[in-house]
Chains A and B, each alone.
Chain A
Amino acid sequence: MERLIEKWQDKINEVVIGSKKPIKIGGETGVYFIDGEDKCPNPPKVAMEVWDMEPEAWPDVLKSNFEKALRDPAEWAKMCVDKFSADLICLRLASIHPDLKNTSSQEAGKTLEKVLKAISVPLVIIGSSSPEKDNEVMAHCANVAKGENCLFGVATQENYKTLTAACLSAGHSIISEAPIDINIAKQLNILICDMQFPLDKIVIHHATGALGYGLEYTYSIMERTRLAGISGDKMLSMPMISFAGQEAWRTKEAKTYAKDTGVLWEIATCSAYLNSGADILVMNHPKSVKEIKKAISQLCDKN
């Protein structure tokens, strides 16, 4: 019997990130990994997460992979690229949060400079979830990284203007985040575009849930977003990023004594989102990174 292959009328925007070794994401004209349909010119990428301070809440099974590097973001980033083959680095400026170290913009900027110097892969930079402090620090960091074509996050419906303006003037891309709501995702993209921000510099993030913690819900929202994008909705035809790793490692299951549970949890979560259309997966454990990268290459090679 002849198989019916869906034809989609539009394609996802291609977003280029980085300057030294730029990568391209997006560009899909079909649904990922479906036989005959997935015209995906740019395979999904894996970013590894690096903090600007030692992440205390991480379980030992995760921390032990990086050892001393945990205290030096530049070294940590280098290790992720050289040793664990990360495609991108995601620098989380956790320490700037007023409740943690309340690190100043200047200090955060210096950390960023060091990380930029240490690696040549593209950089994703995200804040600390303190809206006011993030605005202040990210505006400064966007300037520090001017010309590096980074991906900055995260813009939310309540707080997008400062970051959008900063990214616009320094030529970076932006992550627009919505609380697992396709309408808000679209609304936020409209608002960002209303500030003359180019469409091909936006990456969507749907707030993520790990396996057993709302994964199916996020999965279907991401799938719907992708379907809307390739069906011609310009305000949803952006590539997607998923912070799946942090969610997996936050679960109580990942923190059990059974050594591999966390890794398995991260792999399960990330491979699900891979299939739902994620273009960048932000991950933590080297073992799961390895597995997911293997999965990506196998899935893409098949055709």
Chain B
Amino acid sequence: MEEFRITFLPEHKAVYIDRGTDLLTAALKTGIHIYNSCGGEGVCGRCKVVVKKGIYITEDSGRISEKEREEGYVLACRTTPESDMEVLVPEESMLGDLEILTEEIKTTRLAGLYTPVEEIEEEHYKAALKIFKHGPLSTKIFLKLPKPTIDDNSGDADRLLREIKKQHKEINVIQMGLSNIKRLPRLLRESDWKVTATLGNRNKTTEVVLIEPGDRSRENFGVAVDIGTTTIVAYLVDLNSQKVLGTKASYNPQVDFGEDVISRIIFAQHEKGLEKLHHAVIDTVNSLIDNMIKEASLTLDDVTAVISAGNTTMTHLLLKIDPTQIRKDPYIPAVNFMPIIRASEAGIKINPRGLLMCLPCIGSYVGGDIVAGVLASGMYKIKDISLFIDLGTNGEVVLGNKEWLLACSTSAGPCFEGGGLTSGMRAMKGAIQNISIKNNFLEIETIGNLPPKGICGSGIVDIISELLKNKIIDRSGKIKENKICKVRDSEGAKELVLVEAKDSATLKDITIDENDIKNLMHSKGAIYTGIEVLLKEAGFNKSDIKHVFIAGGLGTALNIRSAINIGLLPDLPEKNFVFLGNTSVSGAKACLLSSEAMDYAEIIANKMTYLDLSTSSSFMNNYSAALFLPHTDIELFPSVKKLL
């Protein structure tokens, strides 16, 4: 087979690929992450690259404008080489730094919001301490065993268990593996009968996970991970003091294989697809853990437990379980309540005998991240009816109180994470997050106050709201001529220039076109309709909702007023809305620290009823009514009616 050398600019990374291999695959091999949301199907048009040298075959795509074609733009996933090539990856196609700086983003993104960051975090911290009894997934206890004598002649292992039971009368069943027993005779004698036992809470029984010489009871750490479709976030937690020692976040590199869960499930069916997806997530989790450990000056052996919260597909891929059945009628996952296993079995590198727990899932499209979210919100403990909304790619909505919980997944799409938009980007530095029009002038606020690079989810919500208020777009999302923003034609659709090329970090205009607005309307319509259907199924009205909890990476910077103006959130008093930020990881953390919280997670998972919107007759009808700004029935949004 003929091989060609492909060089990627501006980084000058080169790779040899066969004839017939596409440029997207080639880029991946060099470690360059090119933005794409369809998994290389040639649909999303995000993987644009510029051919500088070489002969190639490419497929025509409507995603490439005439002008771009002349400049040598092609879709990387649809282009194969016929000779050695030099390819430029433009800034807007780069996935950017893989690492998200959580702390930095948190502080800037939360500035000037309804609930300041410290408050949320502190309250959470306090709440977690208050609500749940401390009882981590794994506990270390220091034991001074009496030396055996001719009278006290219990075996080594029996002696160890006897002492544990003496100290912890509440423990009934204790298990210990053969490998630990084999190590005991030497270990006990060499450590002068002073050892530390790590007890793991494993599927309702207690297991002696690990025995170490000396007193190591203070070095007990765990990791809570949120495996999102788009982002992976990890917390390193001291299991004794309950303090968070470090946080790290990174993109889910599975994005290279498709932006939403469905395209990843499809990819998993490709040859070695499941393996690639599994490794993508495991490698990331391992490197996040590794980095946190190093920064806290610990070793991997000190980490004895990992807990993960993710949607059902993400949980399957983490465990390398084939997710195929999730998208096939009747949509049955391999497992909802995953037993606790050794982390090493899933490929996670911590103490080799450390445990991995996955938060239980509800069904194919509502997973452990939502269970964690409901746990973190506390809505399952109060009498009032609350609403929980996860503004992510899947857009899950939960309605309920301490007696019942009803959940659905609305497949909102990647809009709120900046996907599917002409100038969209994730909430990273330089992303436009808030916008306002004052005195016919557009004021833009970016994350980190840097020159604008693109628009993130909260930015797009703000933009649409402002455009609607200032009558730059009509209620169907069509752009009108106006005095504030430049309007121009872009391949059949009108577009607005928000930032001119000279002022942007990418030296390209930052624009929003009618298709972007339509995409957002589809996303917000799906979430709103999900809420409506849940209310209807449960027999309640909007006015019965006392609290609305909003979760998700975008949630923290979201302007509630704007979200109501565009009809994403129901028209309720702003004081009813509570931002919770990433509830997936905070819920997971609570479970890591308390077996009581974990019991609650199971209760929540058992209590929650999953409503499949695809079989709901009212969804489609309500949905098309929601594809308007804010809604076809303006009476549902009295506060917006006054504004328009």
Chain B binds chain A? yes
Chain A residues within CB distance 8 Å of chain B: 157, 181-184, 186-187, 190-191, 194
Contact segment of B130-138, B430-438, B536-544, B625-633 = B625-633
Residue in B476, B621, B625, B633 whose beta carbon sits within 8 Å of that of A157 in the complex: B476
> Are the C-beta atoms of A191 and B625 separated by less than 8 Å?
no
> In angstroms, how far is the closest chain B Cβ from the Cβ of A290?
38
* Chain A hits for B476, CB < 8 A: 157, 187, 191
Residues of chain B within 8 A (CB-CB) of A182 are 621
Which A residue's beta carbon lies closest to that of B625? A183
Q: How far is the CB of A70 from chain B (nearest CB, A)?
A: 37
> Which chain B residues border A183 with CB–CB below 8 Å?
621, 624-625, 627-628, 632
Q: What is the CB-to-nearest-CB distance from B340 to chain A, in angstroms, rounded to a whole number?
A: 48
CB distance from B289 to the nearest CB of A (A): 49
Q: Is the CB of A186 within 8 A of B632?
A: yes
17 A-B pairs with C-beta separation under 8 A: A181-B624, A182-B621, A183-B621, A183-B624, A183-B627, A183-B628, A183-B632, A186-B625, A186-B632, A187-B475, A187-B627, A187-B628, A187-B632, A190-B475, A190-B634, A191-B476, A194-B474
Residue of A nearest to B480 (CB): A161
Partner of B475, one of A181, A184, A194: A194
Docked Cα-Cα span, A157 to B634, in Å, equals 18
Q: How far is the CA of A190 from the CA of B641 in the complex (A)?
A: 13
Interface residues on B, range: 10 to 19
Which A residues touch B475, using CB under 8 A?
Answer: 187, 190-191, 194
Residue in contact with A191 in the complex, picked from B474, B621, B624, B627, CB distance below 8 Å: B474
The docked-state distance in angstroms from the alpha carbon of A182 to that of B633 is: 12
> How many Å lie between the Cα of A191 and that of B476 in the bound state?
8
Q: Which residues of A contact B474 (CB under 8 A)?
A: 191, 194
In the bound complex, what is the Cα–Cα distance between A191 and B624 (angstroms)?
A: 15
Tell me, in angstroms, the Cα distance from A55 to B625 when the chains sit together.
38
CA gap between A181 and B620 in the complex, in Å = 11
When distances are taken between beta carbons in the complex, the residues of chain B under 8 Å from A187 are: 475-476, 627-628, 632
Task: Report A-chain residues with C-beta under 8 Å of the C-beta of B621.
Answer: 182-183
Point out the residues of chain B lying under 8 angstroms from A191, CB to CB: 474-476
B632 cross-chain contacts in A, Cβ below 8 A: 183, 186-187, 190
Known: A181-B624, A187-B628, A194-B474. 10 other contacts (CB 8 A): A183-B627, A183-B628, A184-B624, A186-B632, A187-B627, A187-B632, A190-B475, A190-B634, A191-B474, A194-B475
A186 to B474 Cα, complex, angstroms:
14
Closest B-chain residue to A190, C-beta based? B475
Contacts of B633 in A (CB 8 A): 186
Q: How far, in angstroms, from A78 to B38 measured CA to CA in the complex?
A: 59
> Which residues of A lie under 8 Å from residue B625 when comparing CB positions?
183, 186
The 5 closest A-B pairs by CB, nearest first: A183-B625, A183-B624, A187-B628, A183-B632, A186-B632
Q: How far is the CB of A176 from chain B (nearest CB, A)?
A: 13
Complex Cα distance A181/B627, Å?
A: 12
The answer for the CA separation of A181 and B621 in the assembled complex, in Å, is 8
Q: Which residue of B lies closest to A184 (CB)?
A: B624
